[in-house]
Chain A
Amino acid sequence: MTEKNEAQRTIPFPHGGIIVLVGPSNSGKTTLLRRLVEEGVLLETEMVSSDTYRTLVGDVEYLDWKGRPREEADILYSDYQKLSGLAFEAMNTVVSMRSRLGKLTVVDATHLQPEYRRKYIDIAAEHDLPCVAWVLDVPEQTLLARDKTREQPRGRQRVKSQYSQFKRSLRGLREEGFDFTYMLKEPEAVQFVRRDNPLLADIGAGIDVIGDIHGCYDEMLELLGELGYAAGEDGLYRHPAGRTLVSVGDVMSRGPRSLDTMIFWKRHFDAGIARMTDSNHGWKIARYLSGRNVTLSHGDENIAAELRLFEEEAGPEAAAALKEELKQFLLSAPSHLVMCRDGVRRLVIAHAGIRDEYIGRQSRRVQDFCRYGDTDGLDAAGAPVRKEWYTGHESGELIIWGHDPRPYPAVVKNTINIDQGAVFGGALTAYRYPEQAFVSVKAHRDYAEDPDSPLIRWERGRFAPPNLGKLVNGYSVFTDAYGELSVRGDYVKAAVDSVSHYTVPLEELVYIPPTMSPTPSVSADESYLEHPQEAFDYFRSQGVTTMVAEKKHMGSRAVLLLFRDEQAAVSYIGRPALGTIYSRTGRAFFDRETEVQVLARLNADLVQAGYFTRYNTEMLLLDAEIIPWNLKARELIATQYAHVAEAAKMDREHLLVKLRQAEAAGRDVSGWVQEMEAKLHSVQVFRQAFQQYCWDVSGLEGIRIAPFHILAHSGQSFFDHSHIWHMEQARQLAGISPLFMETEYRVIRSAADEADVIKWWQDMTEDGHEGIVIKPEIFITKNGRHMVQPAIKVRGRKYLHIIYGIDYLQPDNLKRLKQRRTSKKERHALMECALSVESVNRFIRREPLERVHECVLAALALESDPVDPRL
């Protein structure tokens, strides 16, 4: 609490909160406020007055009982008390509501009793706002003189009694808990000003937020270089586009050059080209520099050492000046920063995070939260247990924070952690806005050398089970390719059920093959439902110039995660294994015995061929089709396809015999006979269609695995490689193991290539093959800001019998089937593709299980959202 005296010429308004006027009737409260409104520094709506509320509630501002007989006076007095009580209740409700919104409210009432004032101190504190008292201390004579000129004079006795009450109450006022108390003896002489909120700033030409530097000065300069900042003649680093640098705090401690780093930020702040938020280390050092008795630990002791060294070199005077400068700088650091564009909050920067209701406010509670985060007591080792505050962030701003190192920028619910533990040998990260891009510089070494560093603890906790609370009611995932995408709670629950009962362990579920759309337009040719031409047209319209067409095998989709040896698996999936093979729904592809055999064989072949050595990888992740179809789908084939074929054949054969008899008997059924003949033929096509994809398997004999995406090696995914490369790698794999088979493909650049592929497709599908998949040359291709479909399938006429039914080609049926809509399927294909790329990238970066799983679970959840399965 600070007291400012009359000599003070100007009094600033707080940016939000409550100003409590204190003064007896006639002290000039309303007059002062009226003046401020006229001056334009106060809005009409920012003031509430008990007089106004008495009128609003009870139609009168005041009840006069003086001069009345005793009995009447008692009744009127009691009426007045009641009216006043209700008026205050209504008014305080409004004050409370305004405070919840962070607004400024001036309360115009006498507030002669401490308990009346207390109310507002509490309301303000509850909403993390300041509460200020403006005390109008006017001489009794003036009060009495003014009362006489009043429309409804309170009367001499009442004024005198109020005055003495006021004087008595002044004594304890300072201890009541106001953030500021201003004594106004001559309010007319005082200037009242509104200042800009230091928490708010405009995004301007863009900002670069730097994570926790901790004295890693060299890395910081390197990062600034990468961001395009260069030192000018004054030694200050500026960006040619006029961008602003922002630090999330903790620029000092632990690392080698804390002093230089602090000086850097102070100088840039003074020059108006950088900002820095408060932080736990910053606050500690500020108090240390203020001469408080603080224990320096967790690397803070390095600063004391650096300062001693500085003093030895530069002398005690210079050292004292520097300490004072730094102290002021650190003490003035705002708890958090709110960066706006067009007056709307877009970005919030807070060292350890912030709750939505604290954004834009200043209070001790807010400051503590921004410094230390959401601490929930201490764990057994005495370290604070952090609660995950970011799961509650709903208000839409992007919150950038540091404090809690993790190996990669962690995006959760519109919050981004950019502390990548530079001082622990991690990296120093910058987040660029509005570009929404990360730039990072690897630490030159592990300066802290802490055997229990957050990064090491992170690694230990990597396989911790995912926090269901973040997921189960629906959530969003930020993907590089698609941006933010959301999944609904009911679909997530279905996916959680599946993962808890049927799939391979969560740690091994690192990629869910994305669904794929057929051509967005059906074939223009009336005898086809699907045709490659529409796929070419689609990609051409999206600006794709080179395409790859791959033969589509009709089997079952499978993901193969293969390890160099059992031990290599431990750091990836947490247990020794040669690998895992699972279906597109995440279930084990083979029974355990067959899986062991397949993995052993693949491993032997890959090791024998020196694959892992050649690519310097411990791991190979493949997306593949495993054939024959009956290997996995035998039950489905028997009970659905074969059963339907048998029934249709029986029905039509019997009927054809009878119709021919009827024709022989002279009935006019030649049309019916022809129709039945055609239908019987359709049955034959259908019957052959599914048998084409099936054959008998004994042991591994007959099983073929056709990889078409080489998803990843250790530390590297291949989504940026062309599909031609993927196909060539697959060919190479086919040469390594007899279990692998290559996939035929064609590259399409010209119209002639298109014609060639159409011919190829026609021949193959008439022969009964399923069809082809056409892809843009690069996995993730964008048309402007939008993702282009990563693949379009074009299925053959014959094959489609087993999808659309035995008689789908009958003109009347086909005409109606062509009215299909693919937009939902396309949307799902894009989202699932983005999720699958994201999950693999997180997996190879060895991010925590939870981060990988949120992508996988989202993909499974999308799969629970029904889409026409014929597409």
Chain B
Amino acid sequence: MHLIIRATGAGAGMLSHLLAKNPNNLYDRTEKEARVRIVFTASSEEVTEAVIYVTPDPVELVKGDSQAHNDITQYINDREFVTSSLFCTYIRAALGTALNGKPKEAYVHWVKEPLELALSFGPVASNLPDHTVEELFGALGYEVSLERGDAEYTFALKARSSARYIRLKGKQTLQTALQQLFVLIPALDDYKHYYISDDEVDKIRRYGAGWLEQHPQRALILKRTLRFGGAIRQYEEMAAKELRTAGGGPGAPADIPVLEESAPGGSAEPPGVQEAPKVRLNDLRYEAIARTVGELDERASIVDFGSGEGKLSARLSSVPGVREIRAVEPSAASQLRAMERFAKLEGRTGTVVPEPVTGSLFYFDESLRGRDVMILCEVIEHIDEHRLDRVMDTIFGQYGPKTLIVTTPNKDYNTVYGMEQEEIRHGDHRFEWGREAFSAWCSRWTGAFPYAAEITGIGEGSAEYGYPTQMAVFTRGEQLQ
């Protein structure tokens, strides 16, 4: 990770003074387990060039939270090489004088003097497209050129390198140029921070003063540096307060563009044909199931299989007559979110708090036997067809709920969404059945076990294609009760 600052033309010789470094000496310090070095390749009045580079200790760098990342990728990673917030932290002390604009008295007037600068830094690990990178710096008046790394391999691996090198050219004061880099280098970097401190917000505000407010990509920059809504809002409030105390002038509060929630450059959802109806359909499904459950004579105990984040279970929690809901889900991550959802139901009258249960359809859990209602809401289509029989055998033969509710997409209806014949609604769907296939499948089970099935539809119906979701309600016959 390195930064090369080259000044040419008038005042070029001032560069070393502004940096407060003797160009004839080598700068070599250890900063937070990293070696920070500066050397001048030229130092004349016409051209002065400082090379700043950092060598972190690779062994120390990967120490620490090894428990959190049980993965070799933690050890082979680009943090040691790419310019990132880590790089800025390492070099901040070495460039302190220039960043703060506090050189020796004799050179203070040069602080505000724009110089003819060439800034080269890298490697950069960023998923931002070239044009966005160019825009980020172009908007600040730099001429930008990008260089890609060497991605020639003995076998077909990648079209181009994921390492980039950035060269900027422009007239700018050294202080502003460095402050811009200290904001934009972390913004470019892909590394995901899990925590943003208040200092970080303050730093962006200070370094961004005078240019970030008006930057056309301001939203993107904030999104990528501060990451979290809370930190961004905190910044906004600070910036607004500052402008107010500054008393109007260019960039009064009204001029601050309103931040949009979604940032460009992020992974925007592809414009899926079914996106719009899907959201609504989920709610309709929950409603339909809740209504069905509410109308059952026996509905005290419910098992919600594949309960995911617990939305359906939470919806059922207020259905009168329901006394117990088991939300069965194998994924710990989903279950955690479900538990947060369920915690909010605590203490509400007329509401039963669902119980999260670790489990899946591929195992048998004795505690799920003989319940009133078992629900498979959009679950079966995620199971390979050849495994489904065994799963249903267990449900009908071992668990034997009084009522079993199954919902699954209606493939016939995909035509209404304008989908191709072979297209499926979700990448993980192992199959999607039309009405005939679903009905035949239901009949197979009612033939094998003492259940009767009634099939209905959920969503906006079409005369020709039925409903987007099909729902079967299996009711156990008297003979087993």
Residues of A within 8 A of B (CB): 380, 387-388, 463-469, 471-472, 493-494, 496-497, 499-501, 505-506, 574-575, 628, 630, 634, 636-644, 646-651, 654-655, 658-659, 661-662, 665, 667-669, 672, 691, 694-696, 802-808, 813, 816-817, 864, 866-870
Within 8 A of A (CB), among B73-122: 73-78, 80-82, 120, 122
Within 8 A of A (CB), among B434-481: 480
A655 x B59 contact (CB < 8 A): no
| A501-B331, A650-B165 given; A869·B157 CB < 8 A | no
| A496-B330, A499-B362, A662-B40 given; A643·B162 CB < 8 A | yes
| A636-B73, A672-B39, A803-B72 given; A655·B78 CB < 8 A | no
By Cβ-Cβ distance, the 7 closest A-B pairs, closest first, are: A646-B149, A500-B360, A500-B330, A866-B70, A468-B363, A646-B163, A647-B123
Contact residues in B for A469 (Cβ distance below 8 Å)? 365-367
- The total of interchain contacts (Cβ-Cβ below 8 angstroms) comes to 198
Interchain CA distance A471-B364 in the complex, whole Å:
11
In-complex Cβ contact of A667 among B39, B58, B70, B161 (8 A) = B39
Given contacts A497-B332, A651-B81, 4 further A-B contacts (CB under 8 A): A499-B362, A648-B81, A661-B42, A662-B51
Query: In the assembled complex, how far is the CB of residue A708 from the closest CB belonging to chain B, in whole angstroms?
Result: 22
Contact residues in A for B42 (Cβ distance below 8 Å)? 661, 665
Interchain CA distance A659-B366 in the complex, whole Å:
71
In-complex Cβ contact of A466 among B120, B150, B364, B367 (8 A) = B364
Per-residue contact bits, chain B 369-380, to A (CB 8 Å; 1 contact, 0 not): 000000000000
| A465-B390, A649-B150, A651-B123 given; A493·B59 CB < 8 A | no
A866 x B66 contact (CB < 8 A): yes
Interchain CA distance A380-B67 in the complex, whole Å:
51
| Complex A-B: 8 CB contacts under 8 Å | A468-B360, A499-B362, A640-B77, A646-B123, A650-B165, A658-B51, A691-B153, A696-B155
User: Which residue of A is nearest B363, CB measured?
Assistant: A468
B75 x A870 contact (CB < 8 A): yes
Contact residues in A for B150 (Cβ distance below 8 Å)? 646, 649-650
Interchain CA distance A248-B356 in the complex, whole Å:
41
Query: In the assembled complex, how far is the CB of residue B150 from the closest CB belonging to chain A, in whole angstroms?
Result: 6
Residues of B within 8 A of A (CB): 1-2, 4, 24, 26, 37, 39-43, 51, 53, 58-59, 62, 66-67, 70-78, 80-82, 120, 122-123, 125, 147, 149-151, 153-158, 161-163, 165, 330-332, 358-367, 384, 386-387, 390-391, 394, 480
Contact residues in A for B53 (Cβ distance below 8 Å)? 655
Query: In the assembled complex, how far is the CB of residue A555 from the closest CB belonging to chain B, in whole angstroms?
Result: 13
Interface centre among A463, A465, A636 (most CB of B within 10 A): A465
Interchain CA distance A648-B162 in the complex, whole Å:
12
Interface centre among A387, A467, A628 (most CB of B within 10 A): A467
Interchain CA distance A84-B361 in the complex, whole Å:
59
A658 x B330 contact (CB < 8 A): no
A668 x B362 contact (CB < 8 A): no
Contact residues in A for B361 (Cβ distance below 8 Å)? 500
A869 x B123 contact (CB < 8 A): no
Interchain CA distance A817-B480 in the complex, whole Å:
67
A654 x B122 contact (CB < 8 A): yes
User: Which residue of B is nearest A492, CB measured?
Assistant: B358
User: Which residue of A is nearest B73, CB measured?
Assistant: A640
Contact residues in A for B394 (Cβ distance below 8 Å)? 464-465
Contact residues in B for A668 (Cβ distance below 8 Å)? 26
Contact residues in B for A661 (Cβ distance below 8 Å)? 41-42
B155 x A638 contact (CB < 8 A): no
B364 x A465 contact (CB < 8 A): yes
B359 x A468 contact (CB < 8 A): yes
Contact residues in B for A643 (Cβ distance below 8 Å)? 78, 125, 161-163
| A640-B76, A655-B53, A816-B59 given; A869·B70 CB < 8 A | yes
Query: In the assembled complex, how far is the CB of residue B16 from the closest CB belonging to chain A, in whole angstroms?
Result: 13
A467 x B366 contact (CB < 8 A): yes
Contact residues in A for B66 (Cβ distance below 8 Å)? 866, 868
Contact residues in A for B73 (Cβ distance below 8 Å)? 636, 640
User: Which residue of B is nearest A630, CB measured?
Assistant: B155
Contact residues in B for A628 (Cβ distance below 8 Å)? 155
B366 x A496 contact (CB < 8 A): no
Contact residues in A for B153 (Cβ distance below 8 Å)? 642, 691, 694
B358 x A493 contact (CB < 8 A): yes
Interchain CA distance A639-B480 in the complex, whole Å:
58
A807 x B58 contact (CB < 8 A): yes
Contact residues in A for B363 (Cβ distance below 8 Å)? 465-468, 471, 496, 500
Interface centre among B42, B77, B147, B358 (most CB of A within 10 A): B358
Query: In the assembled complex, how far is the CB of residue A659 from the closest CB belonging to chain B, in whole angstroms?
Result: 7
In-complex Cβ contact of A497 among B147, B155, B331 (8 A) = B331
Contact residues in A for B81 (Cβ distance below 8 Å)? 644, 647-648, 651
| A467-B365, A646-B162 given; A869·B78 CB < 8 A | no
| A465-B394, A658-B41, A805-B75 given; A496·B358 CB < 8 A | yes
Interchain CA distance A387-B72 in the complex, whole Å:
44
| A638-B158, A665-B41 given; A500·B364 CB < 8 A | no
Contact residues in B for A805 (Cβ distance below 8 Å)? 58-59, 62, 75-76, 80
A691 x B155 contact (CB < 8 A): yes
A649 x B149 contact (CB < 8 A): yes
| A640-B77, A650-B163, A805-B76 given; A464·B155 CB < 8 A | no
Interchain CA distance A643-B391 in the complex, whole Å:
44
| A644-B81, A658-B51 given; A691·B364 CB < 8 A | no
User: Which residue of A is nearest B394, CB measured?
Assistant: A465
Interchain CA distance A112-B149 in the complex, whole Å:
100
Contact residues in B for A639 (Cβ distance below 8 Å)? 162
B165 x A654 contact (CB < 8 A): yes
| A500-B360, A806-B58 given; A651·B1 CB < 8 A | yes
| A640-B77, A649-B149, A654-B2 given; A465·B362 CB < 8 A | yes
Query: In the assembled complex, how far is the CB of residue A243 from the closest CB belonging to chain B, in whole angstroms?
Result: 39
A869 x B71 contact (CB < 8 A): yes
Contact residues in B for A472 (Cβ distance below 8 Å)? 358-359
Interchain CA distance A642-B123 in the complex, whole Å:
14
Contact residues in A for B162 (Cβ distance below 8 Å)? 638-639, 642-643, 646
B157 x A638 contact (CB < 8 A): yes
Contact residues in B for A499 (Cβ distance below 8 Å)? 330, 360, 362
| A465-B364, A669-B26 given; A691·B149 CB < 8 A | no
